[in-house]
Structure 1
Amino acid sequence: MATTLYQKLVESHTVARLDAQNVLLYADLHIMNEYTSPQAFAGLHDAGRGVAAPGRQMAVVDHIIPTHPVAARVIQDPPSALQATNLARNCRTHGIVLFDTNDALQGIEHVIAPELGMIRPGMVVLCGDSHTTTYGALGALGFGIGTSEVEHVLATQTLVYRLAQDMRIRVDGTLAPGVTAKDLIMHIIARIGAQGARGYAVEFCGAAIDALSIEARMTLCNMAVEAGARGALIAPDARAVRYVLERAPDIAGVVLEAARADWAGLRSDAGARFDAEHVFDARAVAPYVTWGTSPDQAVPIDAVIPLPAALDGTARAAAEQALRYTGLEGGMAVEGVAVQRVFIGSCTNARIEDLRAVAGIVRGRKVAPGVRAMVVPGSGAVRRQAESEGIAQVLIDSGFEWRQPGCSMCLAMNDDVLAPGERCASTTNRNFEGRQGRGGITHLMSPAMAAAAAVTGRITDVRQLGETHA
């Protein structure tokens, strides 16, 4: 019987079938951070249980960590410091690897796990963070779980898992110059809606997907959850295998032979049935920008904000509320809207490829007067590579703040926060009300588009600037 890639991954990790809709699913890797794990450990300790498989756990401090460019970082906020201290204590108690505040390999969990070779095709990866879907870029099934589920995974290395439906999204053609994977996923979300993939595991395929770098595929899978997806997958090809093997020296000899044989079968069979399918043309995608307070409230840079009166029901009410919050109007262009802040970072767009794209735009240019722009690399490794390639100096010379790695202003859980009314060009994944600071206004876009906004002081079509070579 022909099966999908998603079905193969679930089947290979099913410990027991509980009923028609639920299975007991084994997890190859469980990742924790400082803000979703404390209650889980407390519940574990209260029940007198230990951690079933410490070697299949990994923890990182990333959400609450300050990103100021200092030699040794100290978490000053008492509640945040307590979260980090508790995580360190729990990891010591149970023998779990922790990338702590000043670890050279510290960074955003969804950046460091792949770059350290922890993510391999065919794995099931769980984390108390919704953007765990990122790992689908390497053919691994990753998804976020809640605190009670974190406790269950710590105790058993398994999860009671409700099966998802299958969706295939095929993207034909080739993305035009100046258009990125971030624009592609924003285009898809704008078309199918913030609930368009709710209840589905999405498999991306097609010529445009095949042409993407692994980093770009991570951006795509990372934001699939913003369409409601319960998982995002791309069948691992030669490029994905090469990425993994360059970072996983333990895969060698007979293990490598077995891995290659297993990975070759990680694709949907010809004739496999999907519950829903969508087809897009990459050539129709332009640079995108959000105008509202949901990732699906987005338009191409050369389009105008929709008129709420032209929308139906809840979409109309949501648009009216979003425009009240953002201070914009239906029918106006997003291009030219002034920004006061620019944030380049997050698990969506803080990898070395993203920073290279930013440097290509800002080289020889200056951050516009009245704009505060910061770049927060996704990991210590990305930061060091950017410095060794001269990217960091390009950014500093242009007027950007060059920060330490962490989640930073993506969700404003540290002191990188928008002031009320500040408008930010952001490479993050969510633009909810108050997401980057109470009263702050977020416009999602690609790193190149954010760079263009930084040097012009307004939302700008990056295709009008092009890369510089000064």
Structure 2
Amino acid sequence: MKTTLYQKIFNSHLVHEEKDITPIIYIDLHLIHEVTSPQAFDGLRLKNRTVRRSNQTFATMDHNVSTLSRDINLSSEMAKKQIKTLIKNCKEFNIPFYDLNNLNQGIVHVIGPEQGMTLPGMTIVCGDSHTSTHGAFGTLSFGIGTSEVEHVFATQTISQNRMKNMKIHIYGKPKDNIYSKDIILKIINELGTSGGVGYVVEFTGPIIEKMSMEGRMTICNMAIEMGAKSGIIQPDCITYDYLKNKNFIPKNRPWKEYIKKWSYLKSGPESIFEKNFSINISNLSPQITWGTNPSQVISITDKIPDLNSFNDKNLLEDTKRSLEYMGLKPGTSLVNIPVNKVFIGSCTNSRIEDLRIVASVVKNKFIANNIEALIVPGSGLVKKQAEKEGLDRIFKKSGFQWRHAGCSMCLGMNEDQLKPGERCASTSNRNFEGRQGANGRTHLMSPWLAAQTALYGKFVNIN
């Protein structure tokens, strides 16, 4: 078969397709949160429509919830309004949801997989660009706008053009302390923020085959940062072991039958990819962003690019603007530059595996005096597991703030924000201007490097 994994899922969900008309595909799972859904619900009321498949829709509260308290009344006025509106809308339209007092509440792209809502072969949408995270399970998953949210509510379908196929093969023998975040940052650096536009990117190779589901989710989460529609990875035994016995796993058939059903979800040797890339990570060092988009990346061992290295005029001007905003100079090293805050969390790196990495670095050590450090678990279940393992005690003893689940400082919609001019080592996915607070300066990196930064109070090159 010449069809790719992406094409197989697209074709199996095709509702209607004809010449010169955008195809319509069926959606298996629609995830919603408090920020991008209110207008969509209002649109349904205005047109006297209902949610067509409320049992295939699921809601949580994550984007602007307080991580200091589970009391809605202690949230900001905007957050309080949006949260209460979501509660009202879910009740009216009979949509199941996890509120702040539910142990299972958390970041939408953390709870979907950990609850077993995300299953191989599915189509999944959410009013959030990092829906691509779910592609780690062999799903076609992508973010949608508010008008599209309303359309999925009403029809359980969406109009979608067919994307082209890109394959990125990752191989090599990684050095110690190289993680999935380093790998995807390097890929974005190589391809640029528009390198994946018009494509669904399938990640393959021996590195992916050995990678945990948490690592794969980090890879697919940031596929959107290279402009791709989504990222996708073939499901395998690692996928099935992760999903087995999860809360939402269907129980009407033996587990072996589901695995057999999912076995066709792979690209064949004759599958056609319009673009192919291979990345050898054998010499990769920990990665860190220096600018204001995720492609402006260097190894911690390297220096910020010199302006003479840019031949493209637009790229040169963008670099100058980024460096001015970040308060940095070309041709210099980031090592020893002091940091104000460390944020460990987000839908990219807030799972139990990420927290274990941080704990292994900071155990019996103390963060620097100049650092304010936050650890925000991705869900109530992650928080519970971390506390069961005693990780919370390690964090608090080291000087970290141990918070409740939520998106937190990833996008600064709640009280977790940078002050103007503050510099942050962050495990999140975007370093845009003002992303974590007005005039805040964000450097993206792995949980391991963020933990090291917290200990030293500055960026460090640890061999």
Instruction: Give the TM-score normalised by structure 1.
Output: 0.96
Superposition pairs for residues 186-335 of structure 1, below 5 Å?
A: 186-248=185-247, 250-252=249-251, 254=253, 256-311=255-310, 312-335=312-335
Q: What's the CA shift string for 1:236-256, capped at 9, x where partnerless? A: 010101111131574346353
Cα separation, 2, equivalents of 1:78 and 1:407: 17
Superposition pairs for residues 63-212 of structure 1, below 5 Å?
A: 63-68=63-68, 70=69, 72-212=71-211
Match of 1:399 in 2: 399
Match of 1:445 in 2: 445
Match of 2:60 in 1: 60
Structure 1 residue 71: Cα displacement: 6.0
Q: What's the CA shift string for 1:16-40, capped at 9, x where partnerless? A: 1143673111010000010100000
Cα separation, 1, equivalents of 2:22 and 2:156: 16
Structure 1 residue 384: Cα displacement: 0.8
Cα separation, 2, equivalents of 1:102 and 1:156: 31
Secondary structure of the structure 2 residue equivalent to 1:455: helix
Of the structure 1 ranges 170-179 and 233-242, higher mean CA displacement relative to structure 2 is found in: 170-179
Secondary structure of the structure 2 residue equivalent to 1:201: strand
Cα separation, 2, equivalents of 1:299 and 1:347: 23
Cα separation, 2, equivalents of 1:18 and 1:160: 12
Cα separation, 2, equivalents of 1:276 and 1:21: 25
Q: 1:76 to 1:248 in 2, by over 3 A?
A: closer
Cα separation, 2, equivalents of 1:63 and 1:386: 22
Q: What's the CA shift string for 1:181-211, capped at 9, x where partnerless? A: 0000000000110111111000000001111
Q: What's the CA shift string for 1:432-465, capped at 9, x where partnerless? A: 000000010000000010000000000113x43x
Cα separation, 2, equivalents of 1:91 and 1:174: 48
Secondary structure of the structure 2 residue equivalent to 1:203: strand
Structure 1 residue 72: Cα displacement: 4.0
Cα separation, 2, equivalents of 1:15 and 1:253: 26
- The number of equivalent residue pairs is 462
Cα separation, 2, equivalents of 1:271 and 1:318: 40
Match of 2:43 in 1: 43
Q: 1:249 to 1:25 in 2, by over 3 A?
A: closer
RMSD: 1.3
Match of 1:339 in 2: 339
Structure 1 residue 284: Cα displacement: 2.6
Q: 1:32 to 1:253 in 2, by over 3 A?
A: closer
Cα separation, 1, equivalents of 2:407 and 2:329: 31
Cα separation, 2, equivalents of 1:101 and 1:75: 12
User: Residue 18 of structure 1 contacts residue 24 of structure 1 at CA under 8 Å; is this kept in 2?
Assistant: no
User: Residue 115 of structure 2 contacts residue 248 of structure 2 at CA under 8 Å; is this kept in 1?
Assistant: no
Amino acid in the other structure paired with 2:181? K
Cα separation, 2, equivalents of 1:429 and 1:321: 20
Secondary structure of the structure 2 residue equivalent to 1:254: coil
Secondary structure of the structure 2 residue equivalent to 1:436: coil
Q: What's the CA shift string for 1:36-75, capped at 9, x where partnerless? A: 000000011100000100000001110010101x464534
Cα separation, 2, equivalents of 1:184 and 1:459: 19
Cα separation, 1, equivalents of 2:398 and 2:264: 47
User: Residue 21 of structure 1 contacts residue 163 of structure 1 at CA under 8 Å; is this kept in 2?
Assistant: no
Of the structure 1 ranges 39-48 and 307-316, higher mean CA displacement relative to structure 2 is found in: 307-316
Secondary structure of the structure 2 residue equivalent to 1:170: strand
User: Residue 72 of structure 2 contacts residue 80 of structure 2 at CA under 8 Å; is this kept in 1?
Assistant: no
Cα separation, 2, equivalents of 1:129 and 1:284: 34
Cα separation, 2, equivalents of 1:284 and 1:75: 48
User: Residue 66 of structure 1 contacts residue 74 of structure 1 at CA under 8 Å; is this kept in 2?
Assistant: no
Instruction: Give the TM-score normalised by structure 2.
Output: 0.98
Is 1:432 aligned to residue 432 of structure 2? Answer: yes
Secondary structure of the structure 2 residue equivalent to 1:433: coil
Gaps of 5+ in 1: 465-470
Secondary structure of the structure 2 residue equivalent to 1:242: helix
Amino acid in the other structure paired with 1:347? C
Cα separation, 1, equivalents of 2:70 and 2:35: 24
Amino acid in the other structure paired with 1:63? H
Cα separation, 1, equivalents of 2:90 and 2:445: 36
Gaps of 5+ in 2: none
Structure 1 residue 270: Cα displacement: 1.5
Aligned-pair identity (%):
44
User: Residue 345 of structure 2 contacts residue 410 of structure 2 at CA under 8 Å; is this kept in 1?
Assistant: yes
